[in-house]
Amino acid sequence: MKKLFSTILPLMAASCLFSQNAKDIQSRSDTTERPQPAPLNKDISGKNNSNNNSQSASDTGAQRPISLKKEGMSAYFGYDSKYFYRSNPLATESSMKQPTGMWTNTFYAGAGIGVYDMDTAVVTPYIGGSWTVNDYVEGKLGQFNYNSTNAYALLLAQYGNGWSVRAGVSYAMDRSTELDTEDFRDYVPNIGVMKAYTLNPSTTGIFDASISLHKTESFVALGDTGLLDNVEYAASYGIKHTYGNLIISPKYKVVFKQYDTGENKNRDDLSHIFSLKLDYPISDSLKLSGFGGYTTRDSTGTDLPYDYESYDAGAGIGLSARF
């Protein structure tokens, strides 16, 4: 009997620990802000001068969200390193918060495959991807360290009135660093619109809205395929203000998600995301950054504790090149 208990108790403890870890990984995966494709993240300049690529002779509009070559391929690659404090990295209820320091390193690359002038719009297909190392460097969360892989294909049409329309599909995957196992996979067909316009000579406003269909697979618990499937509606408004060599970018984003699988059936999430970023370009290919943000989420249609709030603040350095 003693032998039986000595065998069963460790198994029960391991099972409980795995169950808790699985829940934490699912929660983290469900709230991770995946970066937008690099063509949509490129800095938008509100300045009006002869060196501004957004007003080249081949453009159909004065404030286009990205700069393009007149023809052929336009490739880019880069590296970002960030160190920051996060109050609730596993996106759990307030009483379960485990604040930590995080260090992320991202390598990314992509290309615009030709530029096609369609009279009323300029259309460019894009492909690209990134790989990120995510390390919890403080606290007791090292067991949750993970690597993220992202890839996308995107068709972007830019119009003369400053609007752009996009349609694409992206893929995201999280893999445990400690266990070398795949934790999460997400396929996302999506559509979106963007409008960038000049507020004054040093300030540009950017509106963005999108609809995304998330088809997920989670491997941290049995029978969990599709648990995090959802339809996501998102809208954001931000500004980019140039003050000397400093670029100041406050932004507000609202996200509404509808789930309809398993224990998440009839669950709706509403998230509010406030962020502020400061960029100091040292050269065309090197910049220093400081950033902070606050996120809150309210869930309805479920008795499970999916509500959470989190804030973060930190600094980073970025290297990039285009050709």
Please say if the pLDDT value at position 220 is more than 80.
no
Q: What are the helix and strand counts (H, E) for the chain?
A: 2, 13
pTM, full prediction: 0.84
Which residues make Cβ contacts (< 8 Å) with residue 229, sequence separation at least 6? Answer: 214, 215, 216, 259, 260, 261
What is the maximum alpha-carbon separation in the chain? Answer: 85
- If we measure between CA atoms, which residue out of 134, 5, 117, 98 comes closest to residue 58? 117
Average pLDDT score over residue span 156-167: 93
In the predicted structure, residue 175 carries a pLDDT above the cut 90: yes
List the alpha helices (DSSP H) in 218-285. none
Least trusted range by pLDDT, from 131-135, 214-218, 302-306:
302-306
pLDDT value at 288 more than 90: yes
Q: Cα separation of 235 and 193, whole Å?
A: 10
Q: Is 85 exposed, middle or buried (0-12, 13-18, 19+ CB in 10 A)?
A: middle
Backbone torsion region of residue 77, taken as left when φ is above 0, otherwise alpha when ψ lies between -120 and 50, otherwise beta: beta
Query: What is the average pLDDT across 4-26?
Result: 51
Tens digit of each residue's pLDDT (9 = 90 or more) over 126-154 = 999 999 999 999 878 899 999 999 999 99
For the chain, the average pLDDT equals 83
Residue 259 has pLDDT above 90, yes or no: yes
What domains, with CATH codes, occur in the chain?
A: 2-322 (2.40.160.40)
DSSP annotation of 275: E
Enter the tokens of residue 151: 């890839």
State the pairing for strand pair 230-243/116-117.
unpaired
Q: What percent of the chain has pLDDT over 70?
A: 81
